């Protein structure tokens, strides 16, 4: 982490878990433990239906609410979809874009991710853009090339002045929900590569202002080592974000 130039962000991705009633119980437990963290921004990316409850329970705290997806257009005949302006109006600050589960199960490709990044920014939301490789891509040695392509594509419509609002999450797909974490060196290497790609596109000053998270089985035990890497500026945390003590330990591990 390098807190001089960019914000450390620890974001929980609840995925498709927790009803509004369960959200209340989880936040009631979590709130006293994380709401005073001053060294990082804590974000809870909750299911759409839990947003009103989460926003209400966490208003007047430092904890921000995120969504897990948005549609690329602002409104229209797109049954079942939710737009950026709707999320903004509901009190959301961040939105996950291009999570590997959306790429894998819902056919989201880099072109759509790019449209969603622009939709998020134009609605006043900060996109958390997920990039990362499969195990076979890592084994065939294309990780750096693939991640560079994903980053360039996601940023293709983003003006340099808005770059610092974009968050990247390097999430090796083989580490998500598997209990298999990238080593701190692997995480640091790819996060550094992401910053290099941004630097080549836009220059050193904008590149050093971008928060780059690691995600993939981050937990209470491995968080400190991952977050000690210079270019790892936080975590996107799935499973462990549903366990208040573990998530709190990760938030506390970012205070280094
Ligand atoms: C995620 O959902 O983005 C994630 C990293 O999940 P997990 O921490 O469970 O691997």
Residue 243's pLDDT is 98
User: Which is the closest atom of ligand 1 to the Cα of 217?
Assistant: 10
Can 99 be counted among the known catalytic residues? yes
Q: What is the pLDDT of residue 96?
A: 98
Q: How confident is the model at residue 136 (pLDDT cuts 50, 70, 90)?
A: very high
Q: What is the pLDDT of residue 2?
A: 81
* 57 neighbors 31 (Cβ within 8 angstroms): yes
213 lines ligand 1 (CB under 6 A): no
130 CA closest ligand 1 atom index: 3
Tell how far the Cα of 171 is from the centroid of ligand 1, in angstroms: 8
235 CB less than 6 Å from ligand 1?
Answer: no
- Return the exposure string of 211-240: e unless at least 16 CB atoms fall within 10 Å of the residue's CB, then b: bbbbbbbbbbebbbbbbebebbbbbbbbbb
Q: For the chain, state the CA radius of gyration.
A: 17
Instruction: Return the beta strands (E) in 108-216 as ranges.
Output: 126-131, 167-170, 211-215
Dist. CA 203 → ligand 1 center (Å): 31
The one catalytic residue in 108, 133, 165, 171 is: 171
**Which atom of ligand 1 approaches the CA of 175 most closely?**
10
What pTM value is reported for the model?
A: 0.97
> Residue 104 pLDDT more than 90?
yes
Residue 214 scores a pLDDT above 90: yes
């Amino acid at each position: 982490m390098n807190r001089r130039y960019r914000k450390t962000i620890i974001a929980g991705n609840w995925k498709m878990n927790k009803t509004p009633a369960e959200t209340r119980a989880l936040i009631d437990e979590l709130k006293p433990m994380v709401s005073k963290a001053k060294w990082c921004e804590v974000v809870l990316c909750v299911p759409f239906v839990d947003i009103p409850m989460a926003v209400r329970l966490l208003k007047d705290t430092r904890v921000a609410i995120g969504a897990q997806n948005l549609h690329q257009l602002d409104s229209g005949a797109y049954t079942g979809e939710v737009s950026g302006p709707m999320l903004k109006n509901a009190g959301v600050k961040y939105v996950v874009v291009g999570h590997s589960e959306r790429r894998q199960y819902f056919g989201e490709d880099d072109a759509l991710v790019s449209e969603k990044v622009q939709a998020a920014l134009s609605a006043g939301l900060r996109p958390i853009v997920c990039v990362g490789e499969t195990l076979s891509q890592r084994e065939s040695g294309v990780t750096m090339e693939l991640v560079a392509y994903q980053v360039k594509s996601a940023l293709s419509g983003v003006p340099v002045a808005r770059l610092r609002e974009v968050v990247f999450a390097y999430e090796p797909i083989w580490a998500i929900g598997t209990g298999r974490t990238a080593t701190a060196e692997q995480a640091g290497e790819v996060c550094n590569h992401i910053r290099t790609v941004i630097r080549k596109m836009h220059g050193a000053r904008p590149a050093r202002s971008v928060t780059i998270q690691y995600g993939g089985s981050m937990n209470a035990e491995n968080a400190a080592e991952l977050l000690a890497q210079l270019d790892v500026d936080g975590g996107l945390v799935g499973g462990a974000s549903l366990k208040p003590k573990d998530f709190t330990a990760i938030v506390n591990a970012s205070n280094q």
